[in-house]
């Protein structure tokens, strides 16, 4: 789907986006947006809309249904195109690069910013599993119509909120921009600890625990921490990534989720490096309030 977007994106014109956005607007009210309503949403003449909708259908940015009326809905590709267009207009990115990772619920691309700097673009893809949808049911009214759009946007918003809150205090990717279901963040130039053998695992584990503690002291629990979501750089610095599932420390399940985060990381280091640390001891350290900034990194 998105593989083609970077290339096709360049061929899309301003009015293509106007019509694409009109379909998005209509989806607040319809599962399938009637073609007859599009000129109104797009503020374009009917023949222009017809020409554009044929083009964007060809690129699979919208899906068409014929029944008692002709209707359109956005595809993930269409939603991607709208988000990229906005991010390019805001100069958050200049051009999308190639795929660098696939997660369970995302596609990760690199992109270039002005001046050739490389950044990471994460497209959230919720809604195949409907993980977040249940939680928000009843809250968003008509927006529930298109649960994959809503769920993906919520996941991106949540992740962006976390890295924005933590950045500067906790080693997380730098937040750069966010639109719809997409976030732009700094590149962490390293590898997940799951896919490398560490030279000094004891030091790395200590760094991870220190970051979990800093996160906790800022009121946040990662809630999806594992060897796949810790990146280690060549110089031994680490970063915690993949934050859409975070919860506040006040959340009723915060303790349980923190326990799971810590024990997942500890069991990985026990299994792979035979480093023995008790979950309870680490939890006590994480939760222990320090008195001043000087104490923060102690332990």
Indicate which single residue of 171, 229, 231, 282 sits in contact with Mg ion (rule: CB under 5 A): 229
Residue 230 interacts, among Mg ion, ligand ATP, none and using kind-specific CB cut-offs from 5 to 8 Å, with none
Residue 106 interacts, among Mg ion, ligand ATP, none and using kind-specific CB cut-offs from 5 to 8 Å, with ligand ATP
Nearest distance in Å: CB 282, ligand ATP = 22
Indicate which single residue of 242, 246, 282, 283 sits in contact with Mg ion (rule: CB under 5 A): 242
- Among the listed residues 224, 242, 261, 295, the single catalytic one is 224
Tell me if residue 224 is catalytic. yes
CA distances from 77 to 50, 60, 63 (A): 20, 7, 10
Considering only the stretches 6-14, 74-82, 98-106, 267-275, report the one whose residues sit in contact with Mg ion under the rule CB under 5 A: 98-106
Q: Does 227 bind Mg ion (CB under 5 A)?
A: no
Indicate which single residue of 121, 149, 171, 241 sits in contact with ligand ATP (rule: CB under 6 A): 241
Which residues between 81 and 110 bind ligand ATP (CB under 6 A)? 101, 103-106, 108
Residue 249 interacts, among ligand ATP, Mg ion, none and using kind-specific CB cut-offs from 5 to 8 Å, with none
User: Between 10 and 49, how does the x/- string for binding to ligand ATP read (CB under 6 A)?
Assistant: ----------------------------------------
Give residues in contact with Mg ion (CB under 5 A). Answer: 103, 228-229, 242
Residues acting as catalytic residues? 224
Give residues in contact with ligand ATP (CB under 6 A). Answer: 101, 103-106, 108, 120, 122, 173, 185, 187-188, 192, 228-229, 241-242
């Amino acid at each position: 789907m998105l593989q083609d977007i970077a290339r096709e994106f360049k061929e899309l014109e301003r009015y293509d986006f106007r019509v694409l956005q009109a379909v998005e607007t209509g989806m607040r009210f319809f599962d399938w947006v009637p073609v007859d309503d599009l000129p109104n949403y797009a503020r374009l003449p009917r023949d222009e809309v017809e020409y554009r909708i044929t083009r964007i259908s060809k690129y699979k940015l919208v899906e068409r249904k014929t029944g008692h009326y002709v209707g359109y809905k956005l595809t993930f590709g269409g939603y991607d195109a709208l988000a990229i267009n906005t991010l390019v207009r805001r100069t958050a990115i200049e051009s999308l690069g190639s795929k660098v990772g696939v997660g369970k619920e995302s596609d990760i691309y690199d992109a270039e910013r002005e001046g050739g700097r490389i950044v990471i673009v994460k497209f959230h893809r919720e809604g195949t599993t409907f993980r977040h949808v249940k939680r928000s049911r009843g809250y968003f009214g008509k927006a529930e119509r298109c649960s994959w759009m809503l769920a993906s946007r919520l996941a991106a918003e949540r992740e962006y909120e976390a890295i924005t809150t933590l950045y500067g205090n906790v080693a997380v990717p730098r937040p750069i921009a966010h639109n719809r279901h997409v976030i732009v963040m700094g590149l962490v130039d390293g590898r997940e600890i799951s896919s490398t053998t560490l030279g000094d695992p004891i030091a790395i584990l200590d760094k991870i625990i220190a970051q979990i503690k800093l996160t906790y002291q800022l009121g946040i629990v990662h809630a999806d921490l594992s060897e796949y979501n810790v990146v280690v750089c060549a110089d031994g610095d680490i970063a915690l990534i993949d934050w859409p599932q975070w919860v506040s420390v006040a959340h009723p399940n915060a303790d349980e989720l923190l326990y799971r985060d810590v024990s997942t990381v500890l069991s990985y280091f026990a299994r792979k490096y035979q480093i023995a640390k008790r979950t309870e001891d680490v939890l006590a350290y994480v939760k222990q309030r320090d008195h001043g900034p000087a104490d923060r990194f102690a332990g």
